[in-house]
Structure 1
């Protein structure tokens, strides 16, 4: 799995960080999300799928590899 993140779409809601804190974080200056693990391990796949599903801006896209 690979995460594609559309940073300009991010509204800094932080939902992804709450659901998958090992994979996502937020910048201190503006709260925009950052991807810590663009290729998360299988142990994180469920939470990353949930983060993508609940992102209010639909800024997270998952690509199966």
Structure 2
């Protein structure tokens, strides 16, 4: 099992949402493509930042992979 916290999931979601510039958001374009090259690095950076924060919650949410 992998350990993922609620804060990590929130950081990942915000990073995904942040990939699309505000001036490009429209009803049919609110989530970037999984093939958008900015998504992976943005999510990785956001999750690492949260995971490295000593004051962040450490309560894991368990997923079976």
Fold-level similarity (TM above 0.5): no
Higher relative contact order (CA 8 A, sep 6+): 2
Which band: TM-score by shorter chain? 0.3 to 0.5
TM-score between both structures, scaled by the size of structure 2: 0.38
Q: Find the structure with the greater CA-based Rg.
A: 2
TM norm structure 1: 0.38
